[in-house]
Amino acid sequence: DCDICIQVSETECDLSTYLVPYDRTYLANVVTDQSDDIENSPHTYSPHFNPYRDSNISAPTYSVEAADGGRVMVNITDPLTSYHERGRQLSIRDVLKSDLKYKISYYKSGNTRKEFVSDSSVAELKLDAGESYCFMVAAYIPSRPKATQQGAWSQQLCSTSDSSAPPGKNTTLQ
């Protein structure tokens, strides 16, 4: 019973405040007439929706930092949700907790892509020293149905090796 989206002229209305608990299935009754007789007005039901399993997840932001010996650290910023708790906007990590993982896709020039799954927002990859690599990151929730397991891929970041730097130091990310 939510009265926040009554008599609105917009085609969207944010109900996220009312979709708690997250892992429950919800249904909306959309009335398309503005008469006073809501019970007999034309209406339709939305598809069933479970925020925990069905929400689209946007692409995360991240950075890649070179370390010694060809190691790189991938630091991921968890995307924010539309949920708020005690005045703070929740991230997908706050909602999905340990179910949230990240897929890191990477390749070096001329090679096939490889994927690494990280349980946290920080991942260390051991790569060939002195080589250039490109990276992309997406949220990954294996407990979800296959169609909604993966969020959107991030923008690609590529490193360039610098022959004057010590081996294993990728000096620039573009």
pLDDT digits (tens, 9 = 90+) for 1-56: 556 777 777 878 888 888 888 899 998 888 776 666 666 678 788 899 998 999 89
**Mind listing the pLDDT tens digit for each residue in 140-156?**
999 999 999 999 999 99
Tokens of 166: 């010590």
Domain ranges of the chain: 16-53, 55-173
Q: Quick one: the chain helix, strand, coil %, rounded to 5?
A: 15, 40, 50
CB 57 within 8 A of CB 70: no
**One-letter amino acid for residue 153 of the chain:** W
CA dihedral angle for residue 117, residue 121, residue 125, residue 129, rounded to 10 degrees: 140
User: Stretch 64-68: mean pLDDT, rounded?
Assistant: 88
The CATH number of the domain covering residues in 55-173: 2.60.40.10
- Bridge partners, 16 (sequence order): none
- Bridge partners, 75 (sequence order): 63, 122
